[in-house]
Chain A
Amino acid sequence: MCAKSKRLMDAAFIRRLEGIVGAAHVLRSPGDLRNYQYDGSIDQALPEVVVLPGSASEVAQVVAACNDRGYSYVARGAGTGLSGGAVPETGGVVISTGRLHRILDIDVANRLAVVEPGVVNADISAAVKQHGLCFIPDPSSQAACTIGGNVAENSGGLHCLAYGVTTNHTLGVEIVTPEGELVWLGGRTVDMPGYDLLGLFVGSEGTLGIATKVIVKLTPIQEAARTMLAVFNSVEDASQAVSGIIAAGIIPGALEMMDRVSTQAIEEFAHAGFPTDAEAILIIEVDGLRASVDEVAADVRDVCRRNHAREVRFAQTQDERERIWKGRKSAFGAMGRLSRNFYVQDGVIPRSLLPEMLREIAAISEQNGLQICNVFHAGDGNLHPLILFDEKKPGDVEKAVVAGEAILRACIERGGSVSGEHGVGTEKRDCMAVQFSPSDLDVMARVKAAFGNRGLCNPHKIFPTSRRCGESSRRMQHLAPETAAATGPAF
């Protein structure tokens, strides 16, 4: 069964959807549909209808209805995804989790929470803070993005270097399978018997079903944290400091890098107190027990100084700490002021190759005559080069395409990955055939079929089309500044 091409949806199908979720929760007006045509990436496509189920059972019934009539469907949380995962490329039905936003259970004794998929990421930590607990993954969009989307994309965040990403903090999910059945993968206990279908599901970008409940692990809040800015006169020195910190056996809670152009844009936008004349800044946060955290922070400072940091500045107050993180989380939004268009990459390289890779990116920038700035998770080698261009300037779009492809290929050649945390979706699916062999992709297709996806459940995502690894011009359109308000760190 293939997703039918766009056509007028029949009235009987709409009536069936209305019967399942109530007429008020079926949206069809052009204005409403436009709100669901995009995510945080650049691809757009209008759905034919949007439904907002109020329960897991309603989600299952909607999926069954779509299957009966051959309409494609895609689940959507807050629409903050950065790779097109929630864009309804083939039209069809968008299933919004907007009404599934309840925290069902907070089990303090077992350090877990059971939540619906539409719960906002930051709301989980806020709800459990009084118990001294938090939910670790903290994507920059955490004030807006939902846990269902985090599970689909296996989201990372600023504090995932030491503590892991969404897959490491998810105990179980209730899903509607592509065949419309409600099943649990994992549960309230660890080591559930059977194959680790939970591990397969997290990060499957909505192609193996729709999560309707998520059991997340909660972690005690660290007793103390020290946040510092290390200021460098060269990107090379900053990169060497990153390697030096890891080599010293220190894994900070967060280890972020910003180059000069990024810093200037962020400072103008967020007034975080970043020195705008530095070639590179590291934001480093170490956390742990009160006495030891100062010891580790001093070690980190020494490594930075040995690598020619001109200044290492500690946040003196909680307010200062929050301003630093707010500045960092507003990076993509700030870039909107710098350039008419930008194209963000999400490649990963072995972290020891950071200096070499940053030189390579500078060379790619020069070859293509486009500015590329870098603001990224240095500690785990997850780069976010932003290629700045102007779609109105002849040739710019093509140059950005070439530069983007060159960067991703350079990541793959160094044994890395095309995506560290944003997902493949539509945006990077044509790079999959570069990173993975036909045999690798065949096994993934077998897994997709085993979950019963016959082409209607978020079709055409992840898997390569016949196009090449570069990007089509559609993906080069203007990216609006991030609308989500940036907030402080999760803990």
Chain B
Amino acid sequence: MLASTPFTIALRDVLGERFRVHPDECAQFKVDGAAPKLVLSPRSLDEAARALNIVSGERATVVLRGAGTKSRRPPPRGDVDAVLDTSELRGVLEHKPGDLTATIAGGTPLHELQFALRKHEQFFPSDAPFAATATLGGTLGANANGALRQRYGSLRDNVLGMRFVLADGAIAFSGAKVVKSVAGYDTHKAFIGSRGTLGLIGELTIKVAPLPAVQRVLIATFEDCASARAAAGTISASPLFPLALTLHDSRAAGRVPALRTSSAAVWSLVVRCGGSRSATSEQFEGAAALCKEAGAATVRDVGDDLVETVWSQIAELAGGAAYDSDSFVVAKLVAPPARLHELIAAARNAWPDAEMTAHPHVGVLFANIPAAGATSQPGALWQACAAGGWTAEFLSAPHVRGEEFIAPLPAGLAIKLQRRLKAALDPGGTLDPGGFLGGI
């Protein structure tokens, strides 16, 4: 099929040199360790649409790929026919500082976007992991949120409109380019977290935010996880509204020099404060008082000079970004925030060597498990998840191939509607078939 001459001629006609078949070149676009047979690098949505139409017409399968930072997720794929590489779909197409909106090509690296917005003292209010390389489209496809979601909303809350390309080549838009619209279905929301299985995220209109005038970072240490969690809960329930909270065990904290502790039994709660000078001080002092009340062993200020550096290091602890994907399996688990410490205890029981980072405001836990210790079946954890209504998924698990290692789907998930949505937008099953949950 892939060797058929009319097929390759048609693709070369659309993409020119940005259509690759040479194995050495294709090897640079691996997905889950496997090199594709073809790589398509369209430069416009129109090119992407024509290329996808040709490929899906040949019944070949396509995996969409941004920077490839999150491409080691189970279940492992079989052979990959084609990779659509979004790196040429790049650029800040429009930034309207006065409207607090911007329109961006999906393949734009996050850091490029933030750099462009920063000139106007604005930013895309997300501290998504893999910040140095990940693309905006890939970040959205993986719904890779950072802890800033606490103050600014999650990624989906900051996407106003999207132009997407379906596997059959249809280009469509949903949402709007203004900050408020209820016209039509928010189809774009389904693309966020779809891992490229519904269509290509082509262009996005996003909300941007003014950079906080002042920021401070507070680090409090606790001797047990439950107290640290309780302190986080009190801060979340208060009118302090800090920008973000993160929680780390001593091993995860050890990866950020400013968080290192001498005791192995210590949990670190990090509070990122920001806003006007007086608001930031009030947040900081208020959070410090609440931490002390909750029994914090130490409370300190990271120092103005280090705020940006420390926070960018902390952000990379989420989603396993700071961990070598050959050596660590990365699990994401979610519970109602008030039960986060129970979730952490259950995960610790299943994986004694895991390094833990959590976003306590939303009850999200990232467990980074040394690959050597990841082969046992976490049956008790899955039972705890089922009983508590908690969810679990693996973000990266290159070494683990057993079916039993796949986290169970939560009860009551509308799986029939999930399958139907996939069938409605990708009827030919072109986009990473089987790559989404439940084998969708």
Contact residues of A with B, CB < 8 Å? 107-112, 132-133, 153-154, 156, 160, 164-165, 167-168, 177, 181, 183-185, 187-197, 199-200, 202-204, 208, 220-223, 243, 246-247, 249-251, 288-292, 295-296, 348-352, 377, 380-382, 415-424, 428, 432, 435-437, 439-444, 446-452, 462
Contact = CB atoms under 8 A, between A and B. Distances in A.
A439 B241 CA distance: 42
B174 A199 contact: no
A133 B237 CA distance: 8
B276 interface: yes
Given A251-B210, A289-B239, A352-B98, A450 B178 contact: no
A287 to B, nearest CB: 9
Given A184-B412, A189-B335, A446-B425, A177 B172 contact: no
22 contacts: A110-B338, A110-B363, A153-B182, A156-B182, A160-B180, A164-B157, A181-B416, A188-B389, A191-B364, A195-B194, A199-B192, A220-B238, A223-B239, A249-B121, A289-B241, A289-B282, A350-B98, A350-B101, A419-B183, A432-B184, A436-B184, A450-B424
Nearest to A172: B412
Interface string B408-431: 011011111110111111000000
B336 A247 contact: no
Contact of B99 (A187, A290, A350, A443): A350
Given A351-B99, A436-B183, 17 more contacts: A111-B236, A156-B182, A168-B157, A189-B389, A199-B190, A200-B186, A200-B190, A251-B100, A292-B276, A292-B278, A348-B176, A348-B179, A380-B179, A419-B181, A421-B180, A424-B183, A447-B421
B154 A190 contact: yes
B180 A348 contact: yes
Interface in B148-201: 153-154, 156-157, 166, 170-174, 176-187, 189-190, 192-194, 198
A418 B182 CA distance: 8
B198 to A, nearest CB: 7
B187 A443 contact: yes
Interface string B103-128: 00000000000000000010000000
- Say which size band chain B's interface belongs to: 35 or more
Given A164-B157, A188-B389, A352-B99, A204 B185 contact: yes
Contacts, number: 276
A485 B207 CA distance: 34
B145 interface: yes
Given A109-B338, A289-B240, A443 B166 contact: yes
B410 A420 contact: no
B179 A194 contact: no
Residue among A188, A249, A462 having the largest count of chain B Cβ atoms under 10 Å: A249
B334 A190 contact: yes
A203 B283 contact: no
Nearest to A185: B414
A450 B174 contact: no
Contact of B170 (A187, A222, A442, A447): A442
